[in-house]
Amino acid sequence: MKKVTMQDIADRLNITKNSVSQALGNKNGVSEKTKLAVFKMADELGYHYKKEIAREVIKKRFALVASSFALAQKSFLEKSFRA
């Protein structure tokens, strides 16, 4: 069986090998959405990488979604009480 490479992931996602490398290293230069797509594809293809990095990205993504939700709720409540 052929060893899965960063190029295999890049080809599947139609991005550059450099973008895959940056995503797997949790570097700046690629979006959080791209990082999550890279980790997902890496898992699907059986590519081995440091899982701790993926957990950091997922936690950061969750925190952003949660804070956005909280801000939306606060804004809604403030508008409701002003009316």
| pLDDT digits 0-9 by tens, 2-58 | 889 999 999 999 999 999 999 998 888 999 889 989 989 998 999 988 666 666 766
Range of the domain at 67: 6-82
Nearest to 4, CA basis, from 35, 44, 47: 47
Model-level pTM? 0.64
Residue 22 falls inside a structural domain: yes
Place of tokens 């700046």: 28
User: Domain count of the chain?
Assistant: 1
**Alpha-carbon Rg of the chain, whole angstroms?**
17
pLDDT class for 78, splitting at 50, 70, 90?
A: low
